[in-house]
């Protein structure tokens, strides 16, 4: 008996998970089967609950949404991942869709759009919010090169946004389960690749490319 599309909600904020769960509670054909507060937890819960669709946040302590998407699809290849985040920078949709996510919407999406996106990815259809799709289309027409931050590795990108958000080396190490020495090594490589000399220049570069205000609000 088909009890509807089984959905797992992944977000490190209790309030966000509760809000989405309540929003979907009365929707015909969609059933929330569980919640997870981190990428690591999402993988565990997916193995246990076998959801059809995972609503995945991007920025979370420890394993972020990009890494979690890649690892989750290795152990649960039939799961469809829909990114739900505050991050609408063109850098993230490109990387996450490339990692195997089927859809990408922002947290200010309407209830109707979220339901539409869930049903679309469940049916193996790609779904990107219109505003994000417009950004990607505009970039394809106006930018001859790759985004500057796109030259960073997955972990370097994660560390760079921790730095941009004001995180100290020890705090970043604790959040990402790394040693301070490893964080400093990533920091050096980030500066070298982006041709910046310090945290201030890194922050200015992020502002220039429209990333900083997205990451200075709430974790997305």
Q: What's CA 155's distance to the chain center, in Å?
A: 13
Residue 61 domain-assigned (yes or no): yes
Tell me: do 196 and 110 sit in the same domain: no
CB 156 within 8 A of CB 191: no
pLDDT in tens, 159-172: 887 887 777 899 88
Where a domain ends, among 88, 114, 139?
Answer: 139
Cα angle for residues 38, 85, 62 (degrees, 5° grid): 25
Residue 23: domain span: 5-139
pLDDT in tens, 88-129: 554 567 777 778 898 888 888 888 999 999 999 999 888 887
* Beta carbons within 8 Å of 187's beta carbon, 6+ residues apart: 159, 163, 169
Tell me: do 22 and 129 sit in the same domain: yes
Residue 97 domain-assigned (yes or no): yes
Residue 220 domain-assigned (yes or no): no
Q: Is the pTM of this model over 0.75?
A: no
pLDDT class of 136 with cuts at 50, 70, 90: low
Tell me: do 95 and 187 sit in the same domain: no
Tell me: do 32 and 121 sit in the same domain: yes
Tell me: do 152 and 124 sit in the same domain: no
Tell me: do 112 and 189 sit in the same domain: no
* Beta carbons within 8 Å of 18's beta carbon, 6+ residues apart: none
pLDDT average, residue stretch 57-71: 86
CATH code for position 201: 1.10.10.10
CATH code for position 32: 3.40.50.2300
């Amino acid at each position: 008996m088909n009890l509807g599309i089984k959905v797992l909600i992944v977000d490190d904020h209790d309030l966000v998970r509760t809000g989405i769960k309540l929003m979907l509670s009365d929707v015909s054909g969609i059933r929330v089967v569980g919640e997870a507060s981190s990428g690591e937890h999402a993988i565990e819960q997916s193995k246990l609950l076998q959801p059809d669709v995972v609503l995945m946040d991007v920025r979370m302590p420890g394993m972020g949404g990009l890494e979690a998407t890649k690892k989750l699809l290795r152990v649960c290849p039939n799961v469809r991942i829909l990114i739900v985040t505050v991050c609408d920078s063109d850098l993230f949709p490109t990387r996450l869709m490339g990692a195997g996510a089927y859809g990408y919407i922002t947290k200010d999406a309407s209830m109707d759009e979220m339901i539409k996106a869930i049903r679309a990815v469940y049916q193996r259809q790609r779904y990107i919010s219109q505003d994000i799709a417009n950004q990607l289309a505009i970039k394809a027409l106006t930018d001859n090169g790759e985004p500057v931050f796109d030259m960073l590795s997955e972990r370097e990108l994660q560390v760079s946004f921790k730095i941009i958000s004001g995180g100290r080396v020890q705090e970043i190490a604790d959040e990402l389960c790394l040693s301070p020495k490893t964080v400093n090594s990533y920091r050096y490589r980030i500066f070298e690749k982006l041709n910046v000399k310090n945290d201030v220049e890194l922050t200015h570069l992020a502002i220039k490319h429209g990333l900083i205000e997205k990451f200075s609000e709430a974790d997305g």
